[in-house]
Structure 1
Amino acid sequence: SPTYLGGVSGPFKTFMDATGRLWKTQQLKNKLAAGFTVSSLPSGDKQSTLLSMWVFAMQHGMVWVGNPILPEQHAGVPYDEAANRLGSWSGLMAQAGHGAAADAFVPGDTKTARMFGRHFAETLQRLGGVAAHQPAEAVAA
Structure 2
Amino acid sequence: MPDIVVVYHSGYGHTQRMAQAVAEGAGAQLLAIDADGNLPEGGWERLDAADAIVMGSPTYMGGVSWQFKKFADASSKRWFAQAWKDKLFAGFTNSATMNGDKLSTLHYLFTLAMQHGGVWVGTGMMPSNTKAAQRNDVNYVGSSAGAMASTPADASPAEMLPGDLETARRFGQRIAEVAARWAR
Coarse TM-score class (shorter-chain normalised) = 0.7 to 0.9
Q: Size of the alignment, in residue pairs?
A: 128
Q: Which residue of 1 aligns with 2:137?
A: 82
Residue of structure 2 aligned with 1:96, choices 151, 163, 169? 151
Percent identity over the alignment?
Answer: 45
| Structure 2 stretches lacking a partner, 5+ long | 1-56
Pairwise CA distance, 1:35 = 0.6
- The answer on whether the counterparts of 1:71 and 1:82 sit within 8 Å (CA) in structure 2 is no
Choose the corresponding residue for 1:39, options 80, 95, 106. Answer: 95
Quick one: which of 12, 17, 22 aligns to 2:73?
17
Match of 1:137 in 2: none
Question: Which residue of structure 2 aligns with residue 60 of structure 1?
Answer: 116
Q: Which moved more, 1:20-29 or 1:99-108?
A: 99-108
Q: Structure 1, residues 100-138: CA drift from partner, whole Å, max 9, x if none?
A: 22232112101111110100111111111x2xxxxxxxx
Q: TM-score by structure 1 length?
A: 0.86
**1:113 equivalent in structure 2:** 168
User: Structure 2-normalised TM-score?
Assistant: 0.66
- The structure with the greater share of residues assigned to helix is 1
Q: Find the aligned partners of 2:168 and 2:89 in 1 and give their Cα distance.
A: 15
* CA distance in 1: counterparts of 2:128 and 2:69, whole angstroms: 33
1:75 deviates by 8.1
User: What RMSD, in angstroms, separates the aligned Cα atoms of the two structures?
Assistant: 1.3
**Hey, what's the Cα distance between the residues in 1 that align with 2:106 and 2:168?**
15
Q: Distance in 2 between matches of 1:103 and 1:17?
A: 31
CA distance, structure 2, for counterparts of residue 95 and residue 73 of structure 1: 16
Whichever residue aligns with residue 93 of structure 1, its letter is M
Divergent runs of 4+, >3 A: none
Between Structure 1 and Structure 2, which shows a larger proportion of strand residues?
2
CA distance in 2, matches of 1:10, 1:70: 31
The higher relative CO (CA closer than 8 Å, separation ≥ 6) is in 2
One-letter code aligned to 1:91: G
